[in-house]
């Protein structure tokens, strides 16, 4: 059994793809964007957006970063539990992990989901020999930043 399965069984949390689906759908709705409008803003196909919003696709980190950028939010906010009560501490048992299906990298939001804070802390584990999946999207993420994931010039 891998770490993801163990974490989900221990927390009885909803599937991470379901959480991402709810967040993307809610954020798109809050902004009054159609699927076509968001697709144009984030350069992700309408069909892929639809699959993500229905929780039928495990999107890669590159795709999720593009969606977050199109919605004007940090990547970490797509993983946040919008139904969590605001607490200043995120307990380890409450943190849900997500694994990128393409690169195998693992990420967990360390910062509490619903607590207002100027920083977001994210734990990222890269498999041995793997590069950053964000490199392919010409972006890099800092573990701690004031606005979540900041774009950096590609080298």
Domain extent, residue 59, equals 3-78
Question: 153 lies in a domain?
Answer: no
Q: Residues of the chain with pLDDT > 90: what percent? A: 30
Question: 151 lies in a domain?
Answer: no
Residues 92 and 74 in one domain: no
Residues 73 and 94 in one domain: no
pTM of structure: 0.65
Question: 70 lies in a domain?
Answer: yes
Question: 74 lies in a domain?
Answer: yes
CATH number of 73's domain: 1.10.260.40
Residues 67 and 40 in one domain: yes
- The number of distinct structural domains making up the chain is 2
Chain centroid offset of residue 54 CA: 15
Q: In this predicted structure, what is the pLDDT of residue 95? A: 77
Name the stretches of the chain with pLDDT < 50: 1-13, 134-155
Residues 118 and 71 in one domain: no
What span, in angstroms and rounded, lies between the C-alpha atoms of 79 and 109?
7
Residues 87 and 44 in one domain: no
Question: 150 lies in a domain?
Answer: no
pLDDT in tens, 51-90: 999 999 888 999 999 999 999 998 888 887 777 677 777 7
Q: In this predicted structure, what is the pLDDT of residue 142? A: 38
Q: In this predicted structure, what is the pLDDT of residue 133? A: 52
Question: 107 lies in a domain?
Answer: yes
Q: H or E segment at 30?
A: helix 16-30
What span, in angstroms and rounded, lies between the C-alpha atoms of 153 and 68?
18
């Amino acid at each position: 059994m891998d770490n993801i399965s163990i974490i989900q069984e221990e927390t009885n949390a909803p599937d991470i793809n379901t959480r991402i689906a709810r967040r993307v759908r809610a954020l798109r709705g809050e902004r009054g964007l159609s699927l076509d409008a968001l697709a144009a803003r984030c350069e992700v196909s309408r069909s892929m957006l639809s699959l993500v919003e229905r929780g039928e696709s495990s999107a890669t980190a590159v795709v999720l970063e593009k969606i977050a950028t199109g919605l004007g939010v940090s990547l970490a906010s797509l993983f946040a539990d919008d139904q969590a009560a605001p607490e200043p501490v995120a307990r380890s048992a409450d943190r849900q992990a997500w694994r990128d299906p393409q690169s195998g990298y693992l990420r967990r939001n360390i910062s509490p989901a619903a607590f207002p804070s100027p920083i977001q802390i994210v734990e990222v584990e890269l498999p041995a020999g793997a590069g950053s999946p964000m490199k392919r999207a010409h972006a890099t993420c800092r573990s701690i930043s004031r606005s979540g994931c900041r774009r950096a010039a590609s080298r």
